[in-house]
Chains A and B, each alone.
Chain A
Amino acid sequence: MIRRLFIANRGEIALRVIRSAQRLGIVTILGASESDKDSLPARLADEVAIIGPAPAAQSYLDVAAVVAAARAARADAVHPGYGFLSENAGFARDLAAAGIIFVGPDPAGLDAMGDKLAARRVATEAGLPVVPGGEAADANAAMARALETGFPVLLKAVAGGGGKGMKRVTCAEDLPAAISMAMSEAQASFGNPAVYVERFIGSGRHVEVQVLGDGENAIHLGTRDCSIQRRFQKLVEEAPAPDLPDAVRAGLEDAAVKLTKRLSYRGAGTVEFLVDAETHDYFFLEMNARIQVEHPVTEAITGIDLVEQQLLVAGGAKLTLDQSMIRPHGHAIEVRINAEDPAEDFRPAPGVVTRAAWPAGPGIRIDSHIARGGVVPPFYDSLIGKLIVHGQSRAEAVAGMARALAALRIEGVPTTTGLHRRIMADPRFMAGGVDTRFFENFV
């Protein structure tokens, strides 16, 4: 049973984990960098441990520092949030060696899904369709694979994920240069230059399925659609994925559960698919073995607290939920409010927020660590908060989101609020079922 939980993350997700943990009666210790010691999560946590100076590499990404801080804090368990060390198998192993529970799947599971090629193999073995493509041991192999798959192709880092380090290549001439760039970027970002090749599906929808497992049983909590992305970074997410025939939806959900069971997966995870917007063929992309940024939309339609489920499973309990208890109702949309200037090509705009009026009301949820005086440091991502709106129908959720955005006022840093207002008013978005080309056509 977990009594003392170390939260190895920051910002809105740290706050989110603290809230659920405190409700369970768990003592929370926030592992904060120097620049986050006055943040709202630091204020609400029961204890704070400084894990290092501001730069992520010396704090949130420093495995030894985080493990040492968790031990010093006598933590039973560590929640890694998302990003940072959340899918780092070495980190999970070091914690296990220190006798500390890692809130997430076991290292073998992280390895299996962290290596995107290995994940494709496991998925194929589980009977899931994968995007045509395959591994490429070196530049020549990549070329051969790309020619085999047919252009356009996507080059992806084997050790990557989260939409980072992906390159689209439209013709063979561009391929050699793209491969070299992709490999060196992969090395720089993930410490592993290996890339693999996938057919680029132009008219695709990014649909993912939330799953929960306890090592034996697994259930799904429905679909999410995250097709609105800029450079593979999600901007708007919704649950359930709109405009899908029931058979396709059921196929995605069953496939996700099958994979989760095959992995004897413990914890919360997300199985990502690419769905062809026309044919509704779907292909496994990757599995994210952590809580995701967009998890609140699933919580809104199911009433389940996913972080609480993570903590219960990590504490050794079996899932008390079965599939029949998951009865989604209504529709939920999330927009990510980033401290970025859309007019300046979304340049991150760190600074101090002088005013933060977030919307409030029935069906509105705010996941944010930023209040008046909140600091957006230059060292981390630019997410200052998530606005989630639930409605009885998609139309109601869209209208509710538009109204909520109208009440949102952040001053002191530029934000993407205006961009989201325009998206909510866009007739194609309002109709639903947009694919990943939406954003480039929209801007």
Chain B
Amino acid sequence: MAEISLVDVSMRDGNQSLWGATGLNTAQMLQIAGATDRVGFRAIDFASSTHMAVAVRYFREDPWERLRRVHAAMPNTPLQYITTGMRFIAWQQADPDFMALTYRCLQRSGIGKFIMLDPMHDADAVIAGARLVKQEGGAQVMAALTFTLSEVHTDQFYADFARKLAACPDIDLFYLKDPSGLMSAERVRSLAPAVKAAIGGKSLEIHAHCTIGRGAVTSLAAADLGIVDAIHVGIGPLGEGSSLPEAGRMLANLREAGHSVAVDEAMLAKVSDYWWRLARAEALPPGTPQAFDASFTRHQIAGGVMTTTRRQLAELKLEHRFDEVIAETERVRAELGHPIMVTPFPQMVMSQALFNVIGTERYAQVSDEVLRYVMGKFGRPTSPLDPAVEAAIRDRPRAREIEREPSFPTLADLRRKFGPHMADEEFLLRAVMPSDQVDAMLAAGPSRGHYNPDAAPMLRLLRELAGRPAARDIMVEMPGLRLALHGGAHVA
């Protein structure tokens, strides 16, 4: 039937979906990079500005060093970086010169493929971002068609968006991105052909999360259409759950359906085994197949946001109005121009719905995020805002304050601030992160490069025992392992 390749999202999207993006450090990725390179993936979903910030803040590791070393260990498989185009770590959009420098450094350090994701589906914004990437190097640019359910996000909508982008020479390929796992097999059978007709010879990939159990079946339905070239997957414990379909199972299913997939199955098993041993050693929860939740296709609010909102209502003794809030969410979303329900929008929309329900009148209380969104700081909304609502939101002193907020400094200003001699990569981090965090990262020195999942639990045990010397001699016995510590201080 078709030739399908696989894109492995384990290290970035899998890690983010299942392990809060704080699950993996440089050594844990480096250890499996060589083997991953040998599987034959089309690309590896490797980084985003969130991940780079987490490396600095949480691990005190240099994200540029991580990128360089992983790229060196896996030179044959392109490393993928996802971006909204004009932002790097900071929530504000940066100027084009700053982003150009960012793209230059990312490509120099080893990124071979960029995903341009504009949440508002603003074609001009995507084209501008793609242009910047291409002027700084030869990496591929893949445009995201981010799936959501709404009256405006029809097949026609996506096809029109794709057609505009396909005409741009700086955009090489496309993917159907379904971060909430909402797309059904039935829908992909109309959506994918509509998009493919619009993009012609350019390649189409699919990235469908398994949040309500649909991701694998939808991806397979897409493969069967013969117009989708690659499926995004997560390996072993980094697949399923709110992550992507599990790689080994997807490979078997694709072959069962008669497709050919040029992947080294034995090497994939080896990589999967490593991730499983790591997950067990570090007590990280594996993704598990999810039950279908019909209500989710209606409100599209992730479980975490629902839980938080329910708790906030309980604190106000207003839990009985929860259903009202959910209904209000749909109304707010429409009035705000149908943002896709991907962070930060579900939180914004839901908290506004909460304010509207419990407040004196609708839009009496408005969060700063909604204000910024309405004022276009996140980009041009997908469809027009409800004029009355927009006017009501803008009519407050806080809106004027936000209007006067300084925008992100220009590249020239930032260079002046940090001096001309700072290396590009350090400069880019200092421009957007607190200096004490960058200082701490630099002070920590080069990252460790080795991780042994089999030894990790034993080392942890040893650290515990070392921290609380309880006896002169300690013997620990478990299946397959015996440990004996001798000569400790005598404990009275």
Contacts and interface: CB of A to CB of B under 8 A. Distances in A.
Q: Do A and B come from one complex?
A: yes
Interface of A: 1, 3, 23-26, 303, 308, 312, 315, 317-318, 320-321, 325
Contact of A317 (B31, B76, B446, B449): B76
A3 B68 contact: no
Most buried by A among B32, B75, B446: B75
Most buried by A among B34, B76, B264: B34
A-B complex: 5 closest residue pairs judged by Cβ atoms: A25-B35, A24-B34, A317-B75, A320-B72, A25-B34
Given A24-B37, A25-B267, 13 more contacts: A3-B38, A3-B264, A24-B35, A24-B73, A25-B34, A25-B37, A26-B34, A308-B73, A312-B72, A320-B68, A320-B71, A320-B72, A320-B110
Contacts of A3: 38, 264, 267
A235 to B, nearest CB: 30
A320 B38 contact: no
Contacts of B32: 25
Contact of A1 (B72, B76, B110, B449): B76
B225 to A, nearest CB: 31
A320 B37 contact: no
Contacts of A315: 76
A410 B2 CA distance: 62
A315 B446 CA distance: 27
B38 A25 contact: yes
B38 A1 contact: yes
A328 to B, nearest CB: 12
Interface in B274-320: none
A315 B31 CA distance: 19
B46 to A, nearest CB: 15
A321 B72 contact: yes
Interface string B339-358: 00000000000000000000
Contacts of B449: 303
The interface residues of chain A, by DSSP majority, are classed as: loop
7 contacts: A1-B76, A3-B267, A25-B35, A25-B36, A25-B38, A303-B446, A317-B75
A24 B34 CA distance: 4
B277 to A, nearest CB: 15
Nearest to B270: A25
A303 B62 CA distance: 15
Contacts of B37: 1, 24-25
Contacts of A317: 75-76
A312 B73 CA distance: 8
A307 B240 CA distance: 37
Contacts of A303: 446, 449
A179 to B, nearest CB: 49
Contacts of B36: 25
Nearest to A304: B72
A320 B34 contact: no
Interface in B255-270: 264, 267, 270
Nearest to A311: B34
Contacts of B270: 25
A3 B271 CA distance: 14
Most buried by B among A25, A26, A308, A317: A25
A298 to B, nearest CB: 16
Nearest to B30: A23
A416 B32 CA distance: 39
B267 A320 contact: no
A422 B229 CA distance: 66
A168 B32 CA distance: 51
Nearest to B75: A317
B467 to A, nearest CB: 19
A376 to B, nearest CB: 29
A308 B34 CA distance: 10
Contacts of A320: 68, 71-72, 75, 110
A167 B37 CA distance: 49
Given A1-B76, A320-B72, A321-B72, A23 B31 contact: yes
A125 B446 CA distance: 40
Contacts of A24: 34-35, 37-38, 73
A325 B34 CA distance: 20
Contacts of B31: 23
A366 B73 CA distance: 24
